[in-house]
Chains A and B, each alone.
Chain A
């Protein structure tokens, strides 16, 4: 085993010494941040969909607490799709150009007016994520109520 590591490190050392410049790191430019953020939204959609799937598969949604958590996951999916669309329109593809006229007015430039209207509406994304977290709160409250007061009596449906 020691011999193997000796050969491996020696080989790696010779490789880095012989070749110039050393290919150690890859540069990460500006668009990567946006792509990572967009991917995180897609991952979030996937994760919430999987959660809904298992909640239904395990028949947990028969209990109201878990049913509320299911609704929360659903609203989180809507919200994250909404946010994904907003990022896509104004940053990724720049189909909508947003300029601040003054602190209280915005100028939305798009190829079609309906895109501007759609963009304006999806910017109100809190209308989706707030209901999601309220449902999560309600679900946890229900689970807490049905779990009972004593230790070790947590009711798992």
Chain B
């Protein structure tokens, strides 16, 4: 059958041109992608597929166009000469495209592995950075804790020496003071209360009693007096102290915030002495905040450490850094002469130490002070009934 060659010719020519055109457009897009992300193996793979496809399109389409032109223009013999070369290149390019395409899965898998490795490296790097930063932080924290601990040990040694020294003096002075007080009281009995001598003896008795009180404080600080221990609820103790202070010292504009932990157990303590510690700390806090301020009392039972922490924080001026190491020294006071003996914190320190605990202070000038009493628990003996919150 005889047919027209025009449709074949037209489709062949137009198709060949379009094949070349679109193969180059493909190449353009994939080159853009590859330039944008040269590390992406998939784009590199597609780039090579497109290179070979463009090569195939050119070899095939050029061959077709040339063939049609040469045949139509009666140069068939020329085409017959070129044909084997065109066909060989065409076959070669087709095999290259097919072979490259076949590696798609492998390339994909390799790229996924690269991505996973990259991710693993990134997370390992992040972990290392985190560890490095954390290590520095931890070293810094440990160094600070060590420095604090060294300071505390030095402070404890110093106070122990002072305590030993004070205890010796107190014992030596206590006996003569007792004799002086005894004889003064004997003389007072025989003297007429209306006489001037009676008044003088009364003055002697008053000052001797003050001296004895100071000596007792020194003995408390030196921990030479034996505590009278029994089960005590620290919340009840604190409430008694607050009641006592409310009537005597606390200004009306003092705000007291209580945050009691209900799980704090009763403990074996010397109630009177613990109350004395609370009074001393509260008095100091009241004195620090002046006319207006806030005092926060917090208790916490730290079961894992077998200890109870009682914090008394005020919003007062705070303590100068240079004074932080001296505040537990006997007779150290920042109060004006006559307002404090400087024995309150020293005595409190002695009492808490005598209970096997410790007393810590944190303060910055202008930001108030926070005293923390840490007492070891002597086994739980029942919950405290907290009705004061």
Contacts and interface: CB of A to CB of B under 8 A. Distances in A.
Interface of A is mostly: helix
A116 B39 CA distance: 52
B37 A153 contact: yes
A147 B111 contact: no
B338 interface: no
A44 B11 CA distance: 23
Contacts of B72: 103-104
B19 A133 contact: yes
A48 B26 CA distance: 17
A123 B36 contact: no
B29 A154 contact: no
Contacts of A127: 11, 15
Query: Range of interface residues on chain A?
Result: 35 or more
A141 B11 contact: no
A62 interface: no
Interface string B96-123: 0111011011001001000100000000
B94 interface: yes
Contact of A40 (B2, B23, B39, B91): B91
Interface in A38-66: 40-41, 43-44, 46-48, 50-51, 54-55, 58
A41 B105 contact: no
A149 B22 CA distance: 23
Interface string A10-49: 0000000000000000000000010011001101101110
A6 interface: no
Interface in B1-31: 1-9, 11-12, 14-16, 18-19, 22-23, 25-26, 29-30
A44 B94 contact: yes
Given A51-B104, A137-B29, A141-B29, A152 B98 contact: no
Contacts of B169: none
A51 B88 contact: no
Interface of B: 1-9, 11-12, 14-16, 18-19, 22-23, 25-26, 29-30, 32-33, 36-40, 42-43, 46, 50, 53, 57, 71-72, 74, 84, 87-88, 90-91, 94-95, 97-99, 101-102, 104-105, 108, 111, 115
A105 B16 CA distance: 20
B36 A50 contact: no
Given A58-B108, A124-B11, A126-B16, A136 B26 contact: yes
The 4 closest A-B pairs by CB, nearest first: A126-B15, A154-B37, A47-B98, A140-B29
Interface of B is mostly: helix
Nearest to B93: A40
A100 B5 CA distance: 9
Given A106-B5, A151-B38, A154-B43, 17 more contacts: A33-B87, A46-B102, A47-B102, A104-B72, A106-B4, A106-B8, A113-B1, A116-B3, A126-B11, A126-B14, A126-B19, A130-B18, A140-B29, A140-B50, A143-B33, A156-B40, A156-B111
10 contacts: A33-B87, A37-B90, A40-B94, A48-B98, A50-B101, A107-B3, A129-B19, A130-B15, A137-B22, A144-B30
Contacts of B84: 33
Nearest to A100: B71
Contacts of B57: 133
A103 B74 contact: yes
Nearest to A37: B91
Contact of A51 (B22, B39, B87, B101): B101
A36 B97 CA distance: 15
A152 B354 CA distance: 68
A85 interface: no
A33 B105 contact: no
Contacts of A130: 15, 18-19, 22
Contacts of A141: 29
Contacts of A48: 98, 101
Contacts of A47: 97-99, 101-102
Given A43-B98, A108-B3, A144-B32, A133 B22 contact: yes
Contact of B36 (A136, A154, A156): A154
A78 B11 CA distance: 17
B9 A104 contact: yes
A101 interface: yes
Given A44-B98, A50-B102, A147-B37, A137 B26 contact: yes
Contacts of B5: 100, 103-106
B23 A133 contact: yes
B33 A154 contact: yes
Contacts of B2: 101, 105-108
A116 B3 CA distance: 10
B95 to A, nearest CB: 5
A128 B50 CA distance: 18
Contacts of B8: 106, 120, 123-124
B36 A150 contact: yes
A116 B32 CA distance: 46
A121 to B, nearest CB: 10
